[in-house]
A and B are shown apart, each in its own frame.
Chain A
Amino acid sequence: MIRLIASTLFLVLASATAHAAGGIDETINTATAPIAKFIGQIVFFKIPVGDAELPLVVLWLVIGAVFFTFYMGFINIRGFKHAIQLVRGDYANPNDAGEVSHFQALATAVSGTVGIGNIGGVAVAVTVGGPGATFWLIMAGFLGMSTKFVECTLGVKYRNENPDGSVSGGPMYYLDKGFAERGMKGFGKFVGMFYAIGIFIGALGIGNMFQSNQAFVQFVNVTGGEAGSWFADKGWLFGTVMALIVGSVIIGGIKSIARVTEKVVPFMAIFYCVFALIVIFMNFDAIPQAIANIFTGAMTGEGVVGGAIGALIIGFQRAVFSNEAGIGSASIAHSAVRTNEPVTEGVVSLLEPFIDTIIICTITALVIGTAQVSEPGFALVGVQGIAMTSAAFEREISWFPIPLAFAAMLFAFSTMISWSYYGLKGWTYLFGEGLMMDRLYKLIFCIFVALGCMVKLGPILDISDALVFLICVPNILGLYFLAPIVKKEMDSYFARIKSGEIKKYTHA
């Protein structure tokens, strides 16, 4: 069976490659561009605020995050200490040893969100939104913690436990069941389906093609650039290899590759942060000025289109891209945890935007910020995204772009593995659990990994981007409806912690 799939995969890739040489880019682009433009215009419908333009969907996410922060009584601050206790295993029942721990659920979800966005996305924010965007990025991360809390609590509460003992959770399940409980069965079914389709297509786009594409771009950069690299026009080769590796993990079930990646990614993240801190301290004199720029930039928005509001919009937008709060994807991973208290997983998930946005993104922003202070215009005009971050590191540590490229590829890979699962859950929600459908989905997923490196898929990526943001509309709508349930559970849980009914386990 596996061999059959592998050979089919190979044939499909071979034929796709043959076409890529011809006009497949053109054909796809011309065919999808109008659709992408149309969907993009609706989803990213912008309202002018002064000189800046505010996409409604970003406003929707921000209002949601602010609301949940207040409604849950600043759970993002109150729950923080308890989150660390839970992750440490203070409340883990020894009889449940061997089940998914809070730490494992968090680590897996973080691997899924820490990606290219933490390295490249921040550079985009700082380039377009000025240093002040960093302030709003952190703010968005802070508020996003509350949204995550609500999402992940619901993910665990309304998950499905399949007859074979495995679990399926996520927004499609809580939207479906949650609305049904409130007497809106039909509507719940509809938004659940809608979400499932969105997450499936999103998984092929930002969770797949975008990642493999960016990994390829950085790979070409370090091997000699667009002009000098032998690989520059070998996207099909890179893509096929990438697809085969991804395929061997998700179809072939070669756990060792996945296990290695899942082990390496956290270390990569730590390695990245350590070196980033070193680079920041090498620019020691520039630190106060860089931090001052972040605050003044946030208030004045000097030199940014749309001023302070412009910086705010960009900061928030990038934060959402990076930590996915409000999109609901992470609650799929979190719902695997074994606990009788859904609130505990929500509390643990608070740490996710904290690690992703408040720590890693801020560090990246400071690397770029201090470099800008000590050498204005250190990066060539037009250099942006991951290349800009790379240049900021290179100023101090000349060989760093190479490990950075390696880290970027690993982040891309782990994000793809996580998203392949998110997409699969959307897919199985629609078509039911079954081996054939499961395999079919994974095959499609691998083909898109290769396509991501081969064809310039601007419009298709736009569609996928738009859909990922579109699914946050029903998701957050659902969160509003179900927030009272979460609040009740939260209050009851914390009351029982306080009264001592829920105790810590002492480990020998």
Chain B
Amino acid sequence: MSNTFLVAVDGSEGSLRAAEFAAERALAGKTKLVLAYVIEWSPYSFHTPDELAERHKRREEEIERAQSTVLDPVAKLVTDKGCEVETVVRHGHPAQTLAELADGHDSAQIFIGRKGESRVATLLFGSVVGSLVQTSPVPVTVVP
């Protein structure tokens, strides 16, 4: 049985709204919230040998930073509201990774905030929300 909601958190105001929105829904059905932060990363990028040697260290730092500065405050916020919370930091392609996490955590839904970027910016850089909607295995709620 699906018993979690996955919330995409990136520290933006939109993601905060998504977390609050999801928290209300979660409380209603006693669903557990999974707060996920995806650090954009590709296994096919190129690096110097120096960077490779330090990669493990950097990764730990990145995860630590994401956890303490982004996830922890949001987690506290929703815990205070009375939700059961789990947090996860993962490297990867944002939309694809969120879809995989939803799968792995047996989530019933994904909540994600919208940045409201201009059309040109979306055209140039693509949008996480757009591609998540296209690829997600579960329903996606986009919080404006």
Contact = CB atoms under 8 A, between A and B. Distances in A.
Contact of B53 (A94, A97, A98, A336): A336
Contacts of B50: 250, 258, 421
Contact of B48 (A89, A92, A94, A421): A421
Interface in B82-122: 90-92, 96-97, 99-100, 103
Given A99-B55, A99-B56, A508-B100, A92 B46 contact: no
Contacts of B90: 94, 97-98
Contact of B56 (A97, A165, A258, A332): A165
A266 B46 contact: yes
Contact of B55 (A266, A332, A336): A336
B56 A421 contact: no
Q: Interface centre among B39, B49, B54, by most A CB within 10 Å?
A: B49
B49 A165 contact: no
A97 B91 contact: yes
A446 interface: no
A167 B60 CA distance: 14
Contacts of B91: 97-98
B22 to A, nearest CB: 22
A168 interface: yes
Interface string B50-66: 11111111011011000
Main secondary structure of the interface of A (DSSP, over half): helix
Interface residues of B, number: 30
Interface stretch (A101-109, A216-224, A286-294, A312-320): A101-109
Contact of B45 (A89, A94, A104, A337): A104
A333 B52 CA distance: 8
Main secondary structure of the interface of B (DSSP, over half): helix
B47 A104 contact: yes
Contact of B51 (A255, A265, A266, A507): A255
Contacts of A167: 53, 56
Interface in A58-116: 89, 92, 94, 97-101, 103-105, 107-108, 111-112
Contacts of B62: 98
B44 interface: yes
Contact of A168 (B43, B44, B51, B53): B53
Nearest to A338: B56
Contacts of A103: 43-44
Contacts of A450: none
Given A105-B52, A332-B49, A165 B99 contact: no
A293 B75 CA distance: 71
B43 to A, nearest CB: 4
A3 interface: no
Given A97-B43, A108-B52, A421-B50, A165 B92 contact: no
Given A94-B100, A100-B47, 15 more contacts: A97-B43, A98-B55, A98-B62, A98-B90, A99-B55, A103-B43, A103-B44, A104-B44, A108-B49, A111-B46, A167-B56, A258-B48, A417-B49, A418-B48, A507-B100
Interface of B: 39, 41, 43-57, 59-60, 62-63, 90-92, 96-97, 99-100, 103, 137
12 contacts: A104-B43, A111-B46, A165-B56, A165-B57, A167-B53, A333-B52, A336-B52, A336-B55, A338-B55, A417-B48, A421-B48, A507-B100
